[in-house]
Amino acid sequence: MSFELVVVGGGNMGSALAEGLVRAQWCAPEDLAIVESSLEQRAELTTRLPGVSVLASLELEHVGPATGAVLCVKPNHAEAATRLLAIVGVRRVLSVVAGFPTVRIEAIFPEPTAVIRSMPNTPVLVGKGVSAIAGGSQVTKDDLDWAESILGAVGTVVRVTETNIDVVSGLSGAMPAYLYMVVEALIEAGVHQGLTRDVSRQLVIGTFEGSAALLAQSDKSPEELRSQVTSPGGVTAAGLRVLESRALRAAFLDAVAAAGERSRQLGR
C-alpha cells in the first residue's frame, strides 16, 4: 500500500508535523505514514497518532508516483535517510533539516527531484510555528504550494530564496531562545526588586503572552504599541532609557548576524 505522505523521523519536529497534518485534515490518517527508527518512539507515536501507519523503515511498496516525503531527522542522519528516499523512488521532498542545502539533497537522487528546504521553529510543537521555505532547482509553483500546505498545518509559512535560509535560521529559527532569555532575565529582575519568584514568573509570562496576542491582533506597529505605553518622562520611559543606553538594539543586530553566519558555516 502506498501513502500520500511519509514523514521520516518521528522526533520533536516529525511528530508535531504529523499531528498537525491529522488535525488539519491535510489527508486521511491512513494516507499518512511516519518512519521512525527508535522502537520506544514508535510505541509512543502509535498511541499519539491513531490511524497513522508508524513504520520501522520505508519499503518500495509504501511509495507510489504521488508519494511525497518530509525529512525530519537530525542533520547527521539526513544523508542516509535521503538515500533511502531515493532508493524507494520518492520524487518530492520537503526537508526541515538545518544546514542541508537542496543541492546536496538533489545530488543523492538519480533523477530530477523536487526538493524544498525549510526552516521552521519550535512553536511548531504547539501548532504556532513560523517556517520559511525555499525551492531547489527542480521545483515548480505546485511543489512550493504543497510544501506550504504541509507546514501551514503547524503555523504560518513565508517564502524566501535559499540564500536567505541562513538569515532565517539566525532570526526566527533562533528567536524562541532570544525571547526565552529576555523572559528569564525579566523574571530575575522582578526577584531582585523583591517579588517572589512565583509572582514574578506569573507577571512576566502573562505579560509576554498578552503582549504577543495584542501585537498579533492589533493593526498598530510594534513602535506604535510601544509608544502607547511610554508616557513622556514616565515609568516605562525610564526603563527604556536604560535599555537604549545599553545598546539592546545593536545587541540584537549582532546576535542575528552571528547566528546567520554560524548557520552558513555549518552548511559548508
Name which of residues 67 to 86 contact ligand NAP (CB under 6 A): 72-75, 77, 80-81
Question: Considering beta carbons, is residue 75 or 210 the nearer one to ligand NAP?
Answer: 75
Residue pair 49/107 in contact by the 8 Å Cβ criterion: no
Report the residue number, 2 or 122, with the smaller CB distance to ligand NAP.
122
Residue span binding ligand NAP (CB under 6 A) among the ranges 30-38, 136-144, 225-233, 244-252 = 30-38
> 80 burial class (0-12, 13-18, 19+ CB within 10 angstroms)?
exposed
Binding segment toward ligand NAP, per CB under 6 A, in 10-18, 159-167, 208-216, 223-231: 10-18
* Interaction of residue 11 with ligand NAP, rule CB under 6 A: yes
Dihedral sign of CA atoms 24, 29, 33, 37 in order: positive
How far, in Å, CA of 91 to CA of 103, rounded? 15
Which is nearer to ligand NAP, 129 or 200 (by Cβ)?
129
Report the residue number, 87 or 240, with the smaller CB distance to ligand NAP.
87
Query: What torsion do the CA atoms of 145, 164, 7, 111 make, to the nearest 10 degrees?
Result: 80
SS3 38: coil
Distance CA 82, CA 104 (A): 10
CB of residue 131 to ligand NAP, shortest distance in Å? 8
Q: Which of residues 115-174 bind ligand NAP (CB under 6 A)?
A: 119-122, 173
Kindly state the cell numbers that stand for 257.
548576524
| Residue whose beta carbon is closest to ligand NAP | 11
CA distance 23 to 184: 32
| DSSP string for residues in 161-226 | -GGGHHHHIIIIITHHHHHHHHHHHHHHHHHHTT--HHHHHHHHHHHHHHHHHHHHH-SS-HHHHH
Pick 47 or 193: Cβ nearer ligand NAP: 47
The residue within the footprint of ligand NAP, chosen from 28, 30, 38, 239 (CB under 6 A), is: 38
Out of 5, 6, 7, 9, which residue is the one contacting ligand NAP (CB under 6 A)?
A: 9
Among 2, 37, 46, 202, contact with ligand NAP (rule: CB under 6 A): 37
| Interface positions, 172-201, toward ligand NAP (CB under 6 A) | 173
Q: How many helices (H) and strands (E) does the chain have?
A: 11, 8
Instruction: Please give the residue ranges that form the binding site for ligand NAP (CB under 6 A).
Output: 8-14, 35-38, 41, 72-75, 77, 80-81, 96-98, 119-122, 173
